[in-house]
Amino acid sequence: MDAEKPRAARSDLTISTLAERPELADAFWVLGDAWPRFVTEDPVGWILWGRIVSELPEYVLVATDARGELVARALSVPFALDAKGRGALPDGGWDRVLMWAFSDRRHGTAPDTVSAIEITVAPGAQGGGLSYAMLDAMAAGARARGFGTLVAPVRPSAKHLEPRTPMEEYARRLRRDGLPHDPWLRVHVRFGGVVESVARTSMTVSGTLEEWRTWTGLPFDAAGEVEVPRALVPVHCAADQGYAVYVEPNVWVRHTL
């Protein structure tokens, strides 16, 4: 189907869970964030992202090279998609699935699905097929734990180049070979994923105008839509009210394992 096959992962790569390699916990944080500065202010992620590392290390993957240096990480969470009141992948995307996962954990609800949360590759290791290898390892881990479905609220990697294009239109755009226009969506589809829906309110970041100036270096001094570097859609600035809000859409992709 795909004439442009993903690159094979490097032969010197070792992928383990953090539960298997707890000594990499400190290096895990040193690897840094792939997110834009303002996205790290999403309150749901702020509260729950670190809990994946501390409470669900078996769902955290770490990749090391031949020197033993950490070159990539991946996080996922188990949750009950088919629980009462759910069933469909939520418009709330990344935020909602994190809340569902930790609510299920608190209430002892058995999970039936795994959601990807993040894959980060070290800057010096990008372009070598590591993102595909981490996705493959994430799927293999979910399958080994008895799950039949892996989903991902994907943040399309090139959407920031056209922030005013509706996400529904962007997510469905295909190349001549039938693969998604977006590179990160293309990785998922090559791996067998199906683009299912748009998570319209996947992340929400609100802050004062001064906070947004700090996060972006932009003036935020006029009301309206502000295009921010690496934002997938414009930020709504309510200058007369003294705040701005960013509501990021993501794209749900479903993998049958």
| Residue 17: predicted pLDDT | 97
Residue 99 included in any domain: yes
Residues 6+ apart with CB under 8 A from 96: 90, 199, 202
| Vertex 120 angle, CA 119 and 126, to 5° | 120
Residue 169 included in any domain: yes
Residue 213 included in any domain: no
Residue 133 included in any domain: yes
- CATH at residue 18: 3.40.630.30
Residue 239 included in any domain: no
Residue 197 included in any domain: yes
Residue 225 included in any domain: no
| Residue 10: predicted pLDDT | 59
| Residue 129: predicted pLDDT | 86
| Residue 126: predicted pLDDT | 78
The count of domains in the chain is: 1
| Residue 12: predicted pLDDT | 80
Q: Profile the chain (257 residues) by mean pLDDT over runs of 10 residues.
A: 42 91 88 86 95 97 93 97 96 98 98 97 82 96 98 98 98 97 96 97 98 98 98 98 98 98
**Could you tell me the residue range of the domain that residue 93 belongs to?**
14-202+250-256
